[in-house]
């Protein structure tokens, strides 16, 4: 691509963002005529080619309708738009999105997730289902009370009866006396004195942030594997949009990761066993428990 084409693309992005915001905010209402290419080019100080490219992108997203020889008109994005509009609605990472939008995203996630879990238990090969069970176990360990971060896949959680599913898991290390996190070791005891004061230091906060990133990565991977196992391309594309919509709000995203090890194990075990009804029930229990923030 020539340098001139790259520059034109960047200018087109600016025009696209400006018009998109005016449409989604309601300043340009459905049925209203968008200013002509000439007027927009003059107002924004860009060339008409950049305006034309921006309008084409808006048309592809279902936000406007371009008419040859007539004005370009705004469409009702609630009637014509697709999931990609979610990313346009959630475009300010400095603030939480509106509660009703979060609720809509969570409800869509629950609908897709419960059916995907059921179909995954039906359709995915045994190896893929065992992989999902391992991811669920790893996430359960990472979200267990007192966990300092994600554990290796298959690590046991407290008194959970599930055995390790991969060599070298936390249970095996503890039995051999080589687990640095084994109960009773100095680094496992509650911080005291200077150690307690160190708990709030920047390096501790950085460690917590890294643990959150690990948890989010595990959760995303778990659901990607489930949706892939369901064998439904539409679900995969919808999941991409949902994850992208939450990516701008990491604190919200981590708050939506389930912290109930029993339910996480139930989901993994049901899928591994090839039990569609149990997988659907376990996924629903996990996903419908979330409430949008007040």
pLDDT tens string 145-185: 766 543 333 333 333 334 333 333 333 333 344 443 333 44
Dump pLDDT digits (tens) for 268-293.
Answer: 999 999 999 999 999 999 998 766 55
Tokens 């990133």 sit at which residue?
Answer: 213
Q: Shortest CA distance to 108 belongs to which of 250, 4, 235, 263?
A: 235
d(CA 71, CA 218): 49
Range of weakest confidence among 13-17, 55-59, 83-87: 83-87
pLDDT of residue 181: 36
- Flag whether the pTM goes above 0.95: no
**Two tokens, residue 28:** 């340009």
d(CA 76, CA 154): 49
Question: Do you know the residue count of the chain?
Answer: 294
Which class for 51: exposed (0-12), middle (13-18), buried (19 or more C-beta within 10 A)? Answer: buried
What the chain holds in terms of domains, given with CATH numbers, is 3-78 (1.10.10.10), 99-176+208-287 (1.20.120.530)
Q: Shortest CA distance to 246 belongs to which of 106, 78, 77, 135?
A: 106
Sequence-distant (6+) residues with CB within 8 A of 53 are 8, 9, 12, 15, 16
Q: Which residues of 10-48 are buried (b: 16+ CB within 10 A; e: fewer)?
A: ebbeebbeebbeebbeeebeeeeebbebeebbeebebee
Q: What are the start-end ranges of the H helices in the chain?
A: 3-24, 37-44, 48-60, 77-80, 84-89, 99-123, 126-143, 170-176, 194-198, 202-230, 233-247, 250-255, 261-272, 276-287
Sequence-distant (6+) residues with CB within 8 A of 207 are 148, 149
pLDDT of residue 249: 77
**Long-range contacts of the stretch 29-34 (C-beta < 8 A, 24+):** 29/74, 30/74, 30/75, 30/76, 31/73, 31/74, 32/73, 32/74, 33/71, 33/72, 33/73, 33/74, 34/64, 34/71, 34/72, 34/73, 34/74
φ and ψ at residue 65, rounded to 5 degrees: -125, 120
Range of weakest confidence among 129-143, 164-178, 245-259: 164-178
146 φ/ψ sector (left φ>0, alpha ψ -120 to 50, else beta): left
């Amino acid at each position: 691509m020539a340098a001139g084409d790259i520059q034109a693309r960047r200018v087109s992005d600016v025009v696209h963002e400006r018009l998109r915001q005016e449409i989604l905010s309601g300043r340009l209402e459905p049925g209203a005529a968008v200013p002509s290419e000439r007027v927009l080019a003059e107002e924004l100080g860009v060339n008409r080619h950049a305006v034309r490219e921006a309008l084409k992108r808006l048309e592809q997203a279902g936000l406007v309708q371009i008419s040859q020889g007539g004005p370009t008109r705004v469409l009702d994005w609630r009637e014509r738009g697709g999931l990609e509009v979610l990313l346009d609605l959630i475009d300010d990472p400095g603030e939480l999105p509106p509660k009703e939008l979060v609720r809509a995203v969570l409800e869509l996630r629950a609908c897709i997730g419960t059916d995907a879990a059921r179909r995954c238990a039906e359709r995915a090969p045994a190896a893929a289902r065992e992989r999902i069970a391992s991811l669920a176990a790893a996430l359960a360990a990472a979200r267990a009370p007192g966990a300092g971060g994600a554990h290796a896949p298959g690590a046991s959680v407290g008194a959970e009866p599930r055995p390790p599913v991969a060599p070298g898991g936390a249970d095996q290390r503890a039995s051999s006396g080589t687990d640095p996190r084994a109960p009773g070791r100095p680094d496992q005891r509650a911080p005291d004195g200077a150690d307690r004061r160190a708990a709030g230091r920047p390096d501790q906060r950085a460690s917590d942030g890294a643990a959150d990133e690990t948890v989010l990565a595990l959760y995303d991977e778990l659901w990607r594997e489930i949706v892939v196992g369901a064998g439904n391309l539409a679900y995969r594309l919808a999941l991409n949009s949902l994850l992208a919509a939450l990516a701008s709000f990491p604190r919200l995203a981590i708050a939506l990761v389930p912290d109930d090890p029993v339910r996480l194990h139930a989901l993994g075990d049901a899928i591994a066993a090839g039990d569609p009804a149990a997988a659907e029930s376990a996924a629903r229990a996990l996903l419908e428990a979330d409430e949008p923030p007040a």
